[in-house]
Amino acid sequence: MHCVRFMAESSSAGVLERDFLVGEVPGVLWSPASALGGAPLVLMGHGGGLHKKTPAQAARARDMVTSWGFHVAAIDAPGHGERPRTAADDRARTDMRSAMAAGDHERFKAVSIGYTRSLAARAVPEWRATLDALQRLPSIGPDAPIGYGGGVSMGTAIGIPLTAVEPRISAAIFGAGFFVYEDLLAAARRITVPIQYLVPWDDEFVTRESAFELFDAFAAREKTLHANPGDHRRIRWIGLDNEFLPRHLGRATAPTA
Amino acid sequence: MHCVRFMAESSSAGVLERDFLVGEVPGVLWSPASALGGAPLVLMGHGGGLHKKTPAQAARARDMVTSWGFHVAAIDAPGHGERPRTAADDRARTDMRSAMAAGDHERFKAVSIGYTRSLAARAVPEWRATLDALQRLPSIGPDAPIGYGGGVSMGTAIGIPLTAVEPRISAAIFGAGFFVYEDLLAAARRITVPIQYLVPWDDEFVTRESAFELFDAFAAREKTLHANPGDHRRIRWIGLDNEFLPRHLGRATAPTA
């Protein structure tokens, strides 16, 4: 069982940012500079080709810390950020690029699904080990409410199977923008916690119908679909229910400095 | 030009409720018990077969008054609430019921569209006259920001043509749940103010595709679609961006008692 090893630390505007390793997996933990007990922990999964500190994700994380006193953790997905890619990962990426260049949508879709499934199969146990380690930090502890805080696209393709098997997660933000496949629908059917679900309304790769099929699959009694105009790369975090996470996770038990 | 004639007044839990007439049109105005200047005014349109004080609508109105210091106005649609129905209204309602009983969906749809268009044609000038009159009240005035605060179904079938011709409305909440027709799409294409748009995800009468066609028609740069599971009658006002109206309209310039 791994512990969190903190590798670097900085602080600005009331947010403590600590790089860490759990085993070989690099992550980052954003926390209130003066954390008090009982703060929820939100896990964030980045999109394909991006990494744990992608600016948009880091900005959302910092906002959660300062608005609600949350801890927010992100890790690099396999073959992303600081992590090496396997030969199979490289092949999949090359194949996706060549299929795209050839305009072969069916091949692009098939390779993309295979690659995503492989990443999710590796990432789910990494997230669970990271969660185990984070819960052993005194500032978080075993009783902190835990949410999955988003990431559309690949962040959701990993977050759905994670949430399906992880009873510690009690609310989740997911987003469309990737090809839906049967394993993923099966995982969604096991999820009963409240879901906020974002759809990039004009995704150029993925049909609306497949995004709806995934939304319909969630077994959650409370689930809301949000769609803003925009393509795959320009998902906009506006017009949403911003109180979704604090409503379900609570807030820190006292204000943080 | 008509004035607001107040007919009855009551007050509870910090909300002043005043019944009024503008010409022959009966309405209700909910206001903070101690209103200050600069409070926005929100117009609410009820659904088909309902009326200006339908409990769910009255509860939303009171919540807006106490949360943000808004004024909220509702009027009875033609042939609804306290208002007489024309012979043509009665015929349309009888035809809709018999088409529904016969399972004749196409006829139900055709009659429903004809009836809705007729109601909207009458209601739009009534709303504009009501707005003129409300703006002459000292507690509201000509500079109060104005929003259309919803009503799915018929409330939207009236609200869309109203917002299309009414430059005083600067943000609007609409909802699906009725048959979409060409006039309405044409009106939607003229609307550029921010839109929050609710879709009853499992509407038993109206297809999702027609709800999406209407959403796509809005010329607004900022528009967000929200869908919760549920049928036509059970639209749920949860999981939404509750800050939509105060973000676009502002709040009262000072807290209200």
Q: Which stretches of A71-207 are DSSP H helices?
A: 87-101, 105-135, 154-165, 182-188
Tally Cβ neighbours within 10 Å of residue B250.
17
Q: Is residue B208 part of a domain?
A: yes
Which whole-number Å values give the CA distances from A99 to A103, A115, A181, A204, B12, in the listed order?
Answer: 6, 14, 19, 15, 66
Q: Is residue B234 part of a domain?
A: yes
- Whether B201 and A241 lie within 8 Å, measured CB to CB: no
- A78-137 residue pLDDT tens: 999 999 999 999 999 999 999 999 999 999 999 999 999 999 999 999 999 999 999 999
CATH of the domain at A173: 3.40.50.1820
Q: How far apart are CA B85 and CA B73, in angstroms?
A: 22
Q: Is residue A12 part of a domain?
A: yes
Q: Is residue B111 part of a domain?
A: no
From B247, which residue of chain A is nearest by alpha-carbon distance?
A: A239
Q: Which pLDDT does position B44 carry in this prediction?
A: 97
pLDDT confidence of B254, banded at 50, 70, 90?
Answer: low
Q: How many domains does chain A have?
A: 1
Residue B255 has pLDDT above 60, yes or no: no
Interface test with B, best of A224, A235, A236, A238 (most B CBs within 10 A): A224
Q: Which of A84-93, A232-241, B49-58, B74-83 has the lowest mean pLDDT?
A: A232-241
Q: How far apart are CA A43 and CA B253, in angstroms?
A: 38
Q: How far apart are CA A238 and CA A228, in angstroms?
A: 8
- Measured between its terminal Cα atoms, the distance across chain B in Å is 33
Residue A232 has pLDDT above 70, yes or no: yes
Q: Which pLDDT does position A257 carry in this prediction?
A: 42
Range of the domain at B139: 4-82+121-249
Chain A partners of B228 at a C-beta cutoff of 8 Å? 223-225
Q: Which pLDDT does position B152 carry in this prediction?
A: 76
Q: How far does the CA of residue B249 sit from the closest CA of chain A (Å)? A: 15
- B121-153 residue pLDDT tens: 999 999 999 999 999 999 999 999 999 997 778
Q: Which residue, chain included where needed, has tokens 């973000």?
A: B247
The type of residue at A195 is I
The β-bridge relationship of strands B195-200 and B223-228 is parallel
Beta carbons within 8 Å of B59's beta carbon, 6+ residues apart:
none
Chain B partners of A212 at a C-beta cutoff of 8 Å? 208
Q: Is residue A174 part of a domain?
A: yes
Backbone angles phi, psi at B26, to 5 degrees: -85, 140
- B185-204 residue pLDDT tens: 999 999 999 999 999 899 88
- B78-126 residue pLDDT tens: 999 999 999 999 999 999 999 999 999 999 999 999 999 999 999 999 9
Q: Which pLDDT does position B37 carry in this prediction?
A: 72
Q: Which pLDDT does position A254 carry in this prediction?
A: 55
| Partner residues linked to A173 by β-bridges | A196
Q: Which pLDDT does position B113 carry in this prediction?
A: 96
Q: How far apart are CA B64 and CA B242, in angstroms?
A: 10
Q: Is residue B228 part of a domain?
A: yes
- Whether B241 and A239 lie within 8 Å, measured CB to CB: yes
Q: Which one has a higher pLDDT value, B11 or A176?
A: B11
Residue A191 has pLDDT above 60, yes or no: yes
Q: Which pLDDT does position A176 carry in this prediction?
A: 87
Q: Residues of A125-140 as b/e, b for ≥16 C-beta within 10 angstroms?
A: ebbebbbbbbbebebb
Q: Is the dihedral of CA B168, B113, A212, A171 positive or negative?
A: positive
Q: Which residue, chain included where needed, has tokens 């679900």?
A: A197
Q: Which one has a higher pLDDT value, A234 or B97?
A: B97
- Whether B223 and A228 lie within 8 Å, measured CB to CB: yes
Q: Residues of A13-41 as b/e, b for ≥16 C-beta within 10 angstroms?
A: eebbbbbbbbeebbbbbbbbeebeebbbb
From A223, which residue of chain B is nearest by alpha-carbon distance?
A: B228
Residue B230 has pLDDT above 90, yes or no: no
Which whole-number Å values give the CA distances from A9 to A26, A149, B122, in the listed order?
Answer: 14, 22, 65
Residue B257 has pLDDT above 60, yes or no: no
Q: Are A166 and A61 in contact (CB under 8 A)?
A: no
Q: Which residue, chain included where needed, has tokens 């085993």?
A: A23
Chain B partners of A173 at a C-beta cutoff of 8 Å? none
- Those residues of chain A whose CB sits closer than 8 Å to some CB in chain B are 196, 201, 208, 212, 215, 222-229, 238-244
pLDDT confidence of B256, banded at 50, 70, 90?
Answer: very low
CA B197 to mean position of chain CA atoms: 12
Q: Which one has a higher pLDDT value, A70 or A176?
A: A70
Q: Is residue A202 part of a domain?
A: yes
Q: Is residue A68 part of a domain?
A: yes
Which is nearest to A236 in space by CA: A74, A56, A64? Answer: A56
Q: Is the dihedral of CA A65, A69, A71, A72 positive or negative?
A: negative
pTM: 0.88
- Whether A229 and B240 lie within 8 Å, measured CB to CB: no
- Residues making up chain A, counted from first to last: 257
Q: Are A76 and A26 in contact (CB under 8 A)?
A: yes
Tally Cβ neighbours within 10 Å of residue A221.
10
Structure tokens at B242: 């509750």
Which is nearest to B73 in space by CA: B108, B42, B47? Answer: B42
pLDDT confidence of B234, banded at 50, 70, 90?
Answer: low
Q: Give the containing element (helix H, strand E) for B157.
A: helix B154-165
Helices A105-135 and A154-165: crossing angle, nearest 10°? 50
Which whole-number Å values give the CA distances from B2 to B25, B127, B128, B142, B166, in the listed order?
Answer: 11, 12, 11, 15, 18
